[in-house]
Structure formats: C-alpha cells, structure tokens
Chain A
Amino acid sequence: MARITIREAISQALWEEMERDPSVFILGEEVGVWGGTYAVTKGFYDHFGAERVRDTPIAENAILGSAIGAALVGQRPIAELMTINFAFSAMDYIVNQAPKLRYMFGGQFRVPLVIRAVGGGGRQLGATHSQTPDAIFAHFPGLKVVSPGTPEDAKGLLKSAIRSDDPVLFIEHATMYQVRGEVPEGEYLIPIGKSKIQRQGSDVTIVAYSKGLELSLKAAEELAGEGIEAEIVDLRTLRPLDMQPVIESFQKTNRAVVVEEGWKSYGVGSEVAARIYEQAFDYVDAPVVRVAQKEVPLPYNRALEQAALPQVTDVVAAVKEVLR
C-alpha cells in the first residue's frame, strides 16, 4: 500500500479517469497552465492538452453553464471551483439546473458532471473565502454531495463521482491536502453514499466527515488516554446520507457527538441528530451533542479564526459532556 497525500490521491483519480475515458475533461480557473490553485492538476495540461484541461475566465456561472451543456451532450466534465464560496455565483446552475434536468426531462437527459470545490476555513482567507456551506448543497435532491477525509476515500470516491451519471459536488478541505494515508495499489472504487467506521470504540459514537474526521481522530486518541473509547463514523457522503453505520454504532453506545466544521444551525449535525432521534429513539441515553463552528462570519484574525472554528478540545469536551 502506498502512503500518499489527499492532494496526490485526488490528482491520481483525475489522471486515471482521464486516461481511461476520453470524454472526461477538466475546466476551471487556473487549472491548466498554472496547474491548479492547490496544485492538484500539475502536469495535466502538458499531458492531456488544452482541449481537455481548459482554463476559463473568472466566471463561475460560465464554468458551470458550459459544463452542464457538455454533460448533456455526452461529455464527463469536471468543473473546478477555486473555492466553494464562488459556488454562490453559479448557484442557479448548481442547485437549480444540474440536479433537476434529468428529472424534468423524464430521464431523457443525464448530467454526468463533477464539481470539485475547495471548502473550509483555517487559512486566514477572510469571511467570504473560508466558509463550509456543505449543508446548503446537501439540501437539494438530485445533487450528490461527497466530502472525504482520507486519501483512500478521496481517490476512490472521486473516481466513482466521475463515473456517476448524475451530478456530484465533491468538496475538498483546503487544509487537508497534506493529510497522508494508505491507499490501495491499483484500480479501486469506493461507492458514493456509504458511511464508514474509521475507528472502533464502545463508549460513544462520534459522527464526522472531512475536517471533522481529522479533529475526531485526534480527540479519540486523547480520550483513549483517559479510558474512553470513541467509535468514529465517517459520513463521507452527505447526500445520499447513509445512516446505517451511525445507527448501528449508536445502538451500541447510546450516546453520540456530531462534528462538522460548518455552522451548527441547520447543519449536518442537526440532520444526523434528528435522524438518530427518529431511527433510534429507544436507544437514546443522552441528548446528542453537536460540535460546529461558532455562529459568526469567520474572522480573518488568526486567533479569532481558530477560536471560531471547532477544535480537538471541543470534541473532547463534547464527548465528556455527552457521557455525563
């Protein structure tokens, strides 16, 4: 097994799928000659050429509009959003066109589109460039929303996204490109819509994804030192949401903490908590505790930004709270 970064895993997935299927192509800002803002597509332009690695104007609605058009006529576009915050400029295409065309045309059209978007805070990019609005996109039926937290999942899920006949929003976290992990040799796929136990435990269930997974794994190590064994369920996909491993774990532990980087109100944690209450009410031994971002626009100042973002200590404290 190779040990690589999430950046390399995403890059490998893109490369392999472009080699495999000539209808796959990339478009976005600075993806070609520059090699991607986060250096994910470095070398792609030279290898695959300007037709398949297309630099676009700074116009997200144009990127998504042309990508959807290409998808409708049989291509498999991968549209890159430099940050997910720019998705708001293309919101109509992302939530109103791509997820609905197949439905509204009675299945005559498909939209095999992948939107890669970089989200998350922690890099002092200011209130408008640091958001984690994942839950907004997961609200819309018809749009799959994937957000991995390990290199293995990033690669396997992105390959599945590219092969999906329906639109997928693939959210990468800006501070996780350097996260390293084992990745299987050779070709493999990870199905979209399957949650995964990333750590076994019997005392409490932590439900997380993306950055929340990173925080939770660190918190679990700390808690293990105090004799508390946390089981961590990584959602990996926000829509369709796979609750089965969560519910199975919860039926064992009876106590859960949900960790996300986005805001708490109307967030992923709210959805997961509600489903736990709906699906496992008779197993609830304590109220589910949500760990999330403070309800303010994310500050630019480093100390304030860190104070607003959820931290490992918040997860540890939440676990102790839920175990009281």
Chain B
Amino acid sequence: MAETIAMPKLGFDMAEGTLVRWLKKEGETVDKGEVLAEIETDKATVEVESSASGMVRKLLVDEGAVVPVSAPIAIVGAADEEIDAIAPKAASQPSAVSRQPAPEPSKPAPAPGPVSPPTAGPFKASPLARRIATDHNLDLSRVTGSGPGGRIVRRDIEQALAGVPPGAPLAAPAAPAAIGHDSRTVPLTRLRQAIGRRMGESKTSIPHFYITREYKVDSLLDLRRQLNNMLPEDEKVSVNDFLIKAAALTLRQFPNLNASLHDEAVVQHGQVNVGVAVAVEGGLLTIVCRDADQKPLRQIAAEVKFMAGRARDGKVRPDDIEGSTISISNLGMYGVDEFIAIVNPPEAAILAVGAAAEVPVVENGVVKIGWRMKATISVDHRISDGAEAAKFMQALAVYLEEPLRLAIS
C-alpha cells in the first residue's frame, strides 16, 4: 500500500515549511527512517525521515516550495503500484507551472472564518501580483511573499520592482547617492522573523518582572576544575551545565515556575525540560535538555554539547528544540555582568546568567577576594509573583554554592 509522506509539524506554532532539498529522487528506494528531504522551518533546517519503506514513486513538491503542515510532499510505495488514486491532483501537477491548484488538505479546516487555503506548488501569489509580475516580466520565484501563508501580494511585487530586497521595511527610503557610506539592507531570515514575532508577542503580552541575585561560585568553579581534570577533553563540563542541573532540581520545589498559562489555568509541567539559548547564524535557538533534574551532570553536558553543535550547523532535529518548560540564557562567556531576558512563551520564566568574576567581597567585616556570578530571572507575573521568584533564586543558591549536592541528587 503506497503511503503519502506529509510535511511534518515540528512545533506548536509551525504552519508551513520550505522544502530545501530532496535527498531521494523518484524511482530510488528508501527505507523507513531514512532521510528523504531537508526542510527549513521558522527555526531551523531539519531532516524529514520516510515513514515507509519502498520506492519513492512521486515527489509532489519542488525544492524551494513552501508547504503547509500536513500537506503531502511525496508518495512511497511498491514499484508497480497504482498511485494516481491517492494523489490525483498532486500527480497531475507539472513541476514548474504555478497556476496548478493546490493539493487538498487532508481534512477541511473546521473554522468558518477566513482561512488561507493551503497551497503547495512552487509559490503562492495573488492574481493581482501575478498580473503585475507578468506585465513587468518579473519571475515570481524571485519574490518573497509577505501575505498570509507567504502569499506574494502587490506590495511584494512593487518592492521587487523597486529593487528593494524582500522583507525590507515597506517605506525604506532610497539611499542617497552620496559619499560611500552606503547602508546595507539585509533581508530578515525566517529565523529572524520568527524570533521577532515570538519575542514581540512575549514582551507585549506577558507582564514581566525581574529578580536579580548574586551567587558565590568559588566552590562551583573549584568542583568544575576537579571534574574536568578527570574528564576527556571533549567531555568537559561547563558552568552552564551546572546551572541547568541546579535550576532543574530547584524547579522541582517550585512547580509554579515550571509552568505555562493556558486560558484560565496554570499548567504545572510534570517534566523539567530546560531550554538553553544557543547563538546560531542569524539568530538563536533554544535547545532542550529533557528531564534535566534526573540526569547526571555529565550526561547533561554531553547532550547540550551535541544539540548545540547541531544547532550551529543548521542541522537541528525537531526534538532538540521542542518542549522546554523553562529557559536559561548565559552570556557569561562574553564578559557580561548581568542582563535580563525575555520570557520564551509558553514558559513562565527564563534565567539570564552573567559571567563568574573575581571581585572584592566583604565577609565578617573583612574584605576578601571571591568568585561571584549574577543571575536574573524574568517571570510571567500572570503566573507567579516576586516573593515566589525570590525564593526560587534563594533556593538555587543552595545548589550553586554547595555544588556537591548536584553530584548526589
């Protein structure tokens, strides 16, 4: 029985993905679990595995196509199987023609309101956009759509004709023809757009409050040094790994900060999945260390290292970036003293961590030298309050200042 491979949904807010590259051609055999294609989502480039074994009978979309979630992209089946019945529309679709109807979505959308119909095919464009493009001999595949679902609309064509790169601000003034101080317009990547959208929503809809606290990290740094002396070069543990473990264990005592707001209720998550912000080309991704409260430090370090590596290579897997229940952002490696972060929805809180630094400290009336590190938690005030967050920061100190506890927890 031939099987249809669909555009996977790789995140709760993923609506579509771009098919970047086919790794199998029509007629080639594929095993279940083998990589069939690479797709690019708002967040990353990920690999799509075949959910069936057999021959790749039909590739239903071209490379570069923007495909809605759950729309069919390929058919895998036996070499001699009749496949027209399962994808009649898709099968009749010539690869380079844009006016073909889109494959029907598997179920009709239940909402009565205006819903953009899912469209596969090379690109979507309004009739007006198509007409203007035709009038001006403009190749639509060179235009990025800014309408719903990436539809190319009039403004996109007008910008393209005016020579403005897609995604540039609408009213970008023409650069003055003056003296070698040319500004450069850099189109927003999908990742950049996604970050902008999510952070914009978060900062405007979530009432944030912030608690900053300083931690004594002399013991932690000492323990880390000792551990790393025992570990091979590629398995070294970072300060951030300690933080992940410490935060996860502390969150077990503060379920309200390991939570999400859903309508009128706070959902306190059963798992503690710590997201770690990783700087990548053109933006950042939050990789997820699952059940961090239950994993040994060494395992946390290894997982984070691998996932961060994949993220930087643009090869992140869906599981790497989904399901975090709290996030940590650490800019200590840049010498940052302290900073505040924006809550990463639907989480309740994010911890922003600065650098550990050697500073003069006063203890029992004597000025001494000590290692200190500051962290700031940003919290959704709809879910929690200052006292709770402050107690969390206090409890976190137990693990950070007596880090041997991390080894026995």
- A127, CB-defined interface residue at 8 Å: no
Binds B, one of A113-121, A150-158, A285-293: A285-293
- A254, CB-defined interface residue at 8 Å: yes
Q: Is the CB of A286 within 8 A of B127?
A: no
A284 to B125, CA, bound (A): 10
Q: Is the CB of B114 within 8 A of A254?
A: no
Which of B113, B114, B128 has a CB less than 8 Å from the CB of A285? B128
- Interface residues, chain B, CB within 8 Å of chain A? 112-114, 116, 126-131, 147-148, 151, 153-154
Q: Is the CB of B148 within 8 A of A282?
A: no
Given contacts A282-B127, A285-B128, A286-B126, contact A321 B154 (CB under 8 A): no
A42 to chain B, nearest CB (A): 43
- A281, CB-defined interface residue at 8 Å: yes
New A-B pairs, 17, CB < 8 Å, besides A281-B127, A285-B126, A324-B148: A254-B128, A264-B112, A283-B127, A283-B128, A284-B127, A284-B128, A285-B127, A285-B153, A286-B147, A286-B148, A286-B151, A287-B114, A287-B116, A289-B114, A295-B112, A321-B113, A321-B114
B218 to chain A, nearest CB (A): 55
A322 to B153, CA, bound (A): 12
Q: Is the CB of B154 within 8 A of A254?
A: yes
Chain A residue with Cβ nearest B152: A285
Could you show 18 A-B contacts with beta carbons less than 8 Å apart? A254-B126, A254-B154, A282-B127, A282-B130, A282-B131, A283-B127, A284-B126, A284-B128, A285-B126, A285-B127, A285-B129, A285-B154, A286-B126, A287-B116, A318-B114, A321-B113, A321-B114, A324-B148
A205 to chain B, nearest CB (A): 13
Q: For residues 220 through 265 of chain A, which have their beta carbon under 8 Å from a beta carbon of chain B? A: 254, 264
User: How many residues on chain A are close to B (CB under 8 Å)?
Assistant: 15
Interface string of A265-287 (1 = CB under 8 A from B): 00000000000000001111111
A287 to B113, CA, bound (A): 12
A324 to B145, CA, bound (A): 12
Chain A residue with Cβ nearest B155: A285
Chain A residue with Cβ nearest B129: A285
A285 to B128, CA, bound (A): 5
Which of A264, A295, A318, A324 has a CB less than 8 Å from the CB of B147? A324
A322 to B113, CA, bound (A): 12
Residues on B with beta carbons closer than 8 Å to the beta carbon of A285: 126-129, 147, 153-154
Q: Is the CB of A282 within 8 A of B114?
A: no
Chain B residue with Cβ nearest A257: B114
Residues on A with beta carbons closer than 8 Å to the beta carbon of B154: 254, 285
A264 to B130, CA, bound (A): 29
Chain A residue with Cβ nearest B157: A285
Q: For residues 55 through 74 of chain A, which have their beta carbon under 8 Å from a beta carbon of chain B? A: none
A319 to chain B, nearest CB (A): 12
Interface string of A193-228 (1 = CB under 8 A from B): 000000000000000000000000000000000000
Residues on A with beta carbons closer than 8 Å to the beta carbon of B151: 286
Residues on A with beta carbons closer than 8 Å to the beta carbon of B147: 285-286, 324
Residues on A with beta carbons closer than 8 Å to the beta carbon of B114: 287, 289, 318, 321-322
Residues on B with beta carbons closer than 8 Å to the beta carbon of A264: 112
Residues on B with beta carbons closer than 8 Å to the beta carbon of A254: 126, 128, 154
A254 to B151, CA, bound (A): 15
Interface string of A284-324 (1 = CB under 8 A from B): 11110100000100000000000000000000001001101
B406 to chain A, nearest CB (A): 49
A268 to chain B, nearest CB (A): 17
Residues on A with beta carbons closer than 8 Å to the beta carbon of B126: 254, 284-286
Chain B residue with Cβ nearest A283: B128
Question: Residue among B114, B116, B130 with the most chain A CB within 10 A?
Answer: B114
A178 to B148, CA, bound (A): 41
Residues on A with beta carbons closer than 8 Å to the beta carbon of B131: 282-283
A322 to B114, CA, bound (A): 9
Chain A residue with Cβ nearest B156: A285
B155 to chain A, nearest CB (A): 8
B108 to chain A, nearest CB (A): 15
A280 to chain B, nearest CB (A): 9
A97 to chain B, nearest CB (A): 37
B380 to chain A, nearest CB (A): 27
A269 to chain B, nearest CB (A): 12
B114 to chain A, nearest CB (A): 5
A231 to chain B, nearest CB (A): 16
Residues on B with beta carbons closer than 8 Å to the beta carbon of A286: 126, 147-148, 151, 153
B401 to chain A, nearest CB (A): 51
B124 to chain A, nearest CB (A): 12
Chain A residue with Cβ nearest B151: A286
Residues on B with beta carbons closer than 8 Å to the beta carbon of A283: 127-128, 131
A281 to B129, CA, bound (A): 11
A118 to B116, CA, bound (A): 37
Residues on B with beta carbons closer than 8 Å to the beta carbon of A282: 127-128, 130-131
Residues on A with beta carbons closer than 8 Å to the beta carbon of B148: 286, 324
Chain A residue with Cβ nearest B126: A285
A286 to B126, CA, bound (A): 6
Residues on A with beta carbons closer than 8 Å to the beta carbon of B127: 281-285
Q: For residues 90 through 115 of chain A, which have their beta carbon under 8 Å from a beta carbon of chain B? A: none
Residues on B with beta carbons closer than 8 Å to the beta carbon of A281: 127
A289 to B126, CA, bound (A): 15
Residues on A with beta carbons closer than 8 Å to the beta carbon of B112: 264, 295
Q: For residues 4 through 19 of chain A, which have their beta carbon under 8 Å from a beta carbon of chain B? A: none
Residues on A with beta carbons closer than 8 Å to the beta carbon of B113: 321
Question: Residue among A264, A281, A285 with the most chain B CB within 10 A?
Answer: A285
Residues on B with beta carbons closer than 8 Å to the beta carbon of A318: 114
A89 to B112, CA, bound (A): 32
Residues on A with beta carbons closer than 8 Å to the beta carbon of B129: 285
B58 to chain A, nearest CB (A): 30
A283 to chain B, nearest CB (A): 5
A286 to B128, CA, bound (A): 9
B297 to chain A, nearest CB (A): 48
A316 to chain B, nearest CB (A): 14
A322 to B127, CA, bound (A): 15
Chain A residue with Cβ nearest B115: A287
A124 to B113, CA, bound (A): 26
Chain B residue with Cβ nearest A254: B128
A203 to chain B, nearest CB (A): 12
Which A-B residue pairs are the 6 nearest by beta carbons? A282-B131, A285-B128, A284-B127, A285-B126, A285-B154, A285-B153
